[in-house]
Amino acid sequence: MSRTALMGGTAGDVGILQERLWTGATVITALRTAASAGAAAWALHERSLTLLVVALGIYWVGDILDGTWARVRGCETRIGAVLDIFSDRFNAGAFYLGLAWLQPDLSPAIFVYLAEFMVVDTFLSIAFLAWPIRSPNYFYVVDRTIWLWNWSPPAKAVNSALFAVLLLVTGWMWLGLAIASALLVLKCWSVVRLLRIGLPVPPVAHVG
């Protein structure tokens, strides 16, 4: 497979390969991360579930906006992808820990989900760095099955939205726990598959 294909683009995309921290997309990522975290902190100060949902909405809308901006404006970078991944975890952690504090009966489901999203899924998400691709969105050039179950649009929606929506709408801890557990099993299976593929190790440069 060619380097161009692995980068998730065409020969005309060579300029995108230049890495830089500040792009329109990373500015949006920084702003939505700060705004969502600020709203979550305010929600906890006011003990307001409504404000906490606002924080979640800012996170979700901002996450869609920064990714769309990066693709449309041609400023996708690996730095931006990593920044987005860790910002997602910060915003999700702020929301879910806030929800566990406001509604402690949901804590078992929330903590299983956090183990899945903040540990196992984080490992999966940054694994793209082992290949010359710009983000997990292009992991289909490495393994389509892992991409399909983790970063295809439906998979991303289920992983990031379904759990929160069902918890907020139903308040059923056991349903949330079942979903979080299923996601954890899926992510662990994906890690096993990834390790069977093997992560490329760059050659060690010998000095002297």
The answer on 77 and 32 residing in a single domain is yes
Q: How far apart are CA 40 and CA 34, in angstroms?
A: 10
The number of folded domains in the chain is 2
The answer on 169 and 134 residing in a single domain is yes
Query: What's the token pair of residue 142?
Result: 């490495």
The answer on 143 and 96 residing in a single domain is no
Low-confidence stretches of the chain (pLDDT beneath 50): 1-5, 7-16
From residue 120, give the alpha-carbon distance in Å to each of 44, 48, 91, 124.
27, 30, 17, 6
Assigned domain for 204 exists: no
The answer on 109 and 29 residing in a single domain is no
CB-facing half-sphere around the CA of 94: CA atoms within 13 A: 27
- The whole-number pLDDT of residue 26 equals 95
What digits encode the pLDDT tens for the residues 173-197?
999 999 999 999 999 999 999 999 9
Query: What's the token pair of residue 123?
Result: 């490992």
The answer on 113 and 93 residing in a single domain is no
- The whole-number pLDDT of residue 208 equals 52
From residue 90, give the alpha-carbon distance in Å to each of 13, 29, 31, 37, 202.
31, 12, 13, 8, 30
- The whole-number pLDDT of residue 15 equals 40
Assigned domain for 3 exists: no
The answer on 112 and 95 residing in a single domain is no
Assigned domain for 51 exists: yes
Q: How far apart are CA 117 and CA 138, in angstroms?
A: 20
Assigned domain for 9 exists: no
- Boundary of a domain, candidates 86, 102, 118: 102
- Whether residue 73 contacts residue 20, with contact meaning beta carbons closer than 8 Å, is answered with no
Assigned domain for 84 exists: yes
Query: What's the token pair of residue 65?
Result: 């906006």
For residue 27, the enclosing domain spans 16-102
What digits encode the pLDDT tens for the residues 43-54?
999 999 999 999
